[in-house]
Structure formats: structure tokens, C-alpha cells
């Protein structure tokens, strides 16, 4: 049964629709790769699934609740409690240390500082970047920063992790390692992952692939 499901999404920003009947569903513990050329609608689909963007038409259901039927407040609260996000460029807060960055989502959820930082440190260890805990993001390498970003996305125990080109700024070795760590952590916690990528090597870490083209999605035949 789907944990998160989008059906027949339409979204336009201008004359040409960004989404023109796209859909996608993901189960708990499943990693789905969203592939397709630049400008095909992948990010728009991901933003609709995550409740960041409201489609013009179509439905997004999370645990049988329709996101567009929720108020903005409860939807933001749901994003904070149940979803995690990783972007191409970590989007870490530059003024905070890496440890403080990872602890931040817990602090925003009112976890006390000591408990938050202790959990943050465990996640930095899991992502093999405990050594950058006291550095600021600008003092780390790209690969380290992206591992910190993955730790920050997972520290709250999200049910769904949205990753938009999470390895796009990394060399292939670092990219593969970040994918391994992300997928392992997601499987261990039974989280679903929606992974947007245009790299087949990155999509190879998924259980299923969905291809988006001109705002429409198509399920790929399983090859593994």
C-alpha cells in the first residue's frame, strides 16, 4: 500500500504545463528514482509530493490524507515532523557548526539542546563525518557538507525523504558513497525515499524508476 501517492497532477507556471498528468507512488521503505531530462517537471513533481507546491489539478495523498485539503499550518507541521529534505547544494546554515546544523530540526521541534546535539552527533558518525562536527559548512569539502545535509534530513526520523539531485555537486566516488549511506539509513528506518536524479548511476540505488517527460510520468520496467 502506498505511503505517499500523487495522481494525475497538473501544474502550469506559464503557457506550457510543467506537469501534465504526472503521478507517482511510494511505499514505506521503498526508494523511487525520478528521472528525465532537464525541464521535464521532476522538481515540480517532487515539490507537489512534498506539499511545498499545490497542483492546479490532481491529488497528493499521504497516509490517506489529501495534502491540498490540509491548512497551511498543519501541512507545514506535517513536513517538519514526517518529511526530510536533501538538495543538490546542502543548504546548511553557514553561521552554525555542522553539529548545530544537524541538531537544528530537532531544536525546532523543541528537543532540548543536549539531547538534540547527542542525536546529531550519532548521525554525523553514521554518515562518517563526525570529524567536521565543530566546523562551519564553509570549512568542509563538498562531500562532507552533503553528508552533513543527509544527517540533517534523517535526524528527525522522517517517514519520507525527498532528495533533489543530492549528488549533483559531487564527484562520482563521493556521490556513490552518499547514496549508499542515504539508502542504508532509509532502509534501516523504513523511510520512503523520492530521489530526483538524471544520473543512471545514482538511480541504480533505487528500487524503482519513474521517468518524467514533458510533465508526464511513466513507470520503468523493473530490470533488477
Binding site for ligand ADP (CB under 6 A): 13, 18, 36, 38-44, 139, 141-144, 171, 174
Q: Residue 69 carries which DSSP code?
A: G
Report the residue number, 44 or 101, with the smaller CB distance to ligand ADP.
Answer: 44
| Smallest gap from residue 132 Cβ to ligand ADP (A) | 8
3-state helix, strand, coil in the chain (%, to 5): 40, 25, 35
Q: Write the CB contacts of 218 (distance below 8 Å, at least 6 apart in sequence).
A: 210, 211, 212
Report the residue number, 12 or 59, with the smaller CB distance to ligand ADP.
Answer: 12
Q: Residue 56 carries which DSSP code?
A: S
As to burial, measured by CB atoms within 10 angstroms (0-12 exposed, 13-18 middle, 19+ buried), residue 20 is: middle
Report the residue number, 144 or 156, with the smaller CB distance to ligand ADP.
Answer: 144
Report the residue number, 58 or 142, with the smaller CB distance to ligand ADP.
Answer: 142
Q: Which residue is nearest to ligand ADP (CB)?
A: 143
| Smallest gap from residue 44 Cβ to ligand ADP (A) | 3
| Smallest gap from residue 152 Cβ to ligand ADP (A) | 17
At residue 151, φ and ψ (nearest 5 deg) are: -60, -45
| Smallest gap from residue 37 Cβ to ligand ADP (A) | 7
Report the residue number, 28 or 130, with the smaller CB distance to ligand ADP.
Answer: 130
Q: Residue 217 carries which DSSP code?
A: E
Cβ atoms 197, 7 nearer than 8 A: no
Report the residue number, 29 or 168, with the smaller CB distance to ligand ADP.
Answer: 168
Report the residue number, 28 or 169, with the smaller CB distance to ligand ADP.
Answer: 169
Q: Could you give the 3-state DSSP secondary structure of residue 210?
A: strand
| Smallest gap from residue 88 Cβ to ligand ADP (A) | 11
Sheet with 65-66, side-by-side order of all strands: 17-26, 4-12, 57-62, 65-66
Q: Could you give the 3-state DSSP secondary structure of residue 218?
A: strand
Residue 114: how many other CB atoms lie within 10 Å: 9
| Smallest gap from residue 38 Cβ to ligand ADP (A) | 5
Cβ atoms 146, 170 nearer than 8 A: yes
| Smallest gap from residue 111 Cβ to ligand ADP (A) | 29
Amino acid at each position: 500500500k502506498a505511503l505517499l501517492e500523487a495522481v494525475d497532477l497538473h501544474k502550469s507556471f506559464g503557457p506550457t504545463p510543467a506537469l501534465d498528468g504526472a503521478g507517482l507512488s511510494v511505499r514505506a521503505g521503498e526508494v523511487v528514482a525520478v528521472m528525465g531530462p532537464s525541464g521535464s517537471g521532476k522538481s515540480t513533481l517532487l515539490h507537489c509530493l512534498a506539499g511545498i507546491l499545490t497542483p492546479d489539478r490532481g491529488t497528493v495523498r499521504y497516509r490517506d490524507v489529501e495534502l491540498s485539503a490540509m491548512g497551511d499550518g498543519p501541512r507545514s507541521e506535517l513536513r517538519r515532523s514526517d518529511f526530510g529534505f536533501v538538495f543538490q547544494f546542502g543548504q546548511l546554515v553557514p553561521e552554525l557548526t555542522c553539529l548545530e546544523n544537524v541538531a537544528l530540526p530537532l531544536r525546532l521541534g523543541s528537543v532540548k539542546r543536549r539531547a538534540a546535539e547527542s542525536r546529531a552527533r550519532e548521525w554525523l558518525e553514521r554518515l562518517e563525518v563526525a570529524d567536521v562536527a565543530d566546523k562551519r559548512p564553509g570549512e568542509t569539502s563538498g562531500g562532507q557538507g552533503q553528508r552533513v545535509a543527509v544527517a540533517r534530513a534523517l535526524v528527525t526520523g522522517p517517514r519520507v525523504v525527498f532528495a533533489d539531485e543530492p549528488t549533483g555537486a559531487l564527484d562520482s566516488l563521493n556521490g556513490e558513497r552518499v547514496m549508499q549511506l542515504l539508502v542504508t539509513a532509509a532502509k534501516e528506518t523504513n523511510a520512503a525515499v523520492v530521489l530526483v536524479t538524471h544520473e543512471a548511476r545514482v538511480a541504480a540505488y533505487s528500487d524503482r524508476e519513474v521517468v518524467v517527460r514533458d510533465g508526464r510520468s511513466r513507470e520503468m520496467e523493473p530490470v533488477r
